[in-house]
Amino acid sequence: MKRRFLLVVSLVMVFALAVPLFAQSYDPMSFKSKKPMSQWKIALVPKDATNAWFVRMEVGVKQFAKDTGINAFQKGPAKTDAAMQAQVIEDLIAQGVDAICVVPVDPAALEPVLGLALSRGIVVIDHEGASQQNCLYDIEAFSNQGLGQTIMVELAKMMGEKGVYTTMVGNVTNASHNEWADAGVAYAKAHYPNMTLLAAEPRVEIMDNLDTAYERAKELFKKYPNLKGIFGTSSLSSPGVARAIEELGLKGKAFVTSVGLPNENKVYLKDGTLQSVLLWDPRDAGYAQLAMAVKILKGEKIENGCNLTAPGWTSMQFAPGSTKVLQGKGWITITKDNVDSFGF
């Protein structure tokens, strides 16, 4: 009895080993579809179907379906949860979709199910999941380098390319905020000789808090009367600093920009305290993911400079040292003129 049990167990093990499931590498070119375009079915799986960010992404998905006539749709879990997201993908695989675009809640948790999708010949495209193994490509709206430079260009424009500025990060431990700031500072050094970084406090921390941003900014402008600009990163820096600028009567004399949400900055953009904030639009990210999937289904080779036909996503570049992660310039500048057009 015992021996038979052991036999069964060892057979099971051998069987298990014979099933390849993970960490295979696939040639994207082999995913060219044999079906006519009109029969393609492409699904985009967001983190959460009900979150405003992804509701906006669905606008892009619907637009893409309308523009191309391809059956593309968004289908996500009702709550942000890795296990439920995997189940949605399971269902999509069973339905026989041709491509799955996914914004993973947790890339690690999706490896098995995405591995299964790839093994069934389904195209898998990730967005904001650069660590994903089981995908053909991961596309990102921007590189940290590129965004940092763009923030600096905007700030320099406001400051007339001269004067003292400092940088503000959400947390000094936040890797991407620091990369943006470093890239911005390096860009200023190379391109704007009349701009100088505040040596006493070159990197201010706001603890990811709107009130702290406001208080720190007030303090800075009082302490350093010649401070003219703040290079912000966190989306809380613009509204916080703008409030300080307004209260101190420095409108038109001191400037700030950062990543920012339209509604949070609307008042200040309209009254001129702020001139612009930067953002990437989830609508374009949705559109670009589908365009990427279509390229692979068509059997196109993906190279530097490939065009995903959404604003800012028209010239994708591979991340340094990667053959999988592509980065765009998918940010948009929000000013008083377009701030009302986003709906979030």
Residues that bind another protein (CB under 8 A): 12-13, 15-17, 19, 21-23, 49-50, 71, 73, 75-79, 81-84, 86-88, 90-96, 106, 108-113
Of the two residues 67 and 337, which places its CB atom closer to another protein in the complex?
67
Smallest gap from Cβ 42 to another protein, in A, equals: 11
Beta-bridge mates of residue 139: 127, 326
Going from the C-alpha of 307 to that of each of 164, 214, 291, 294, 326, the distances in angstroms are 38, 40, 9, 12, 11
Q: Closest distance between another protein and the C-beta of residue 91, in Å?
A: 4
Residue (16 or 199) nearer to another protein, CB: 16
Residue 198 Cβ, how far from another protein at the closest point, in Å? 34
Nearer to another protein, 106 or 182 (CB): 106
The sheet with strand 41-45 has its strands ordered as 71-74, 41-45, 99-102, 123-127, 137-140, 325-327, 317-318
Adjacent-strand bridge partners of 325: 138
Distance CA 221, CA 280 (A): 29
Query: What single letter denotes the amino acid at residue 97?
Result: V
Query: Where do the DSSP E strands lie in 116-262?
Result: 123-127, 137-140, 163-169, 195-197, 203-205, 227-232, 255-257
CA distance 212 to 219: 10
Q: Are 166 and 197 in contact (CB under 8 A)?
A: yes
* Alpha-carbon span 289 to 298, nearest angstrom: 14
CB of 83 to another protein, least distance (A): 4
Between 90 and 337, whose beta carbon lies closer to another protein?
Answer: 90
Give 98 or 111: the residue with its C-beta nearer to another protein. 111
Task: Note whether 151 and 180 are within 8 A (CB).
Answer: yes
* Spatial contact of 52 and 142, defined as CB atoms under 8 Å apart: no
| Shortest CB 140 distance to another protein, Å | 20
Least distance to another protein from the beta carbon of 280, Å? 23
Of 1 and 16, which has the nearer Cβ to another protein?
16
CB of 79 to another protein, least distance (A): 5
Query: Residue 19 or residue 175: which is nearer to another protein going by CB?
Result: 19
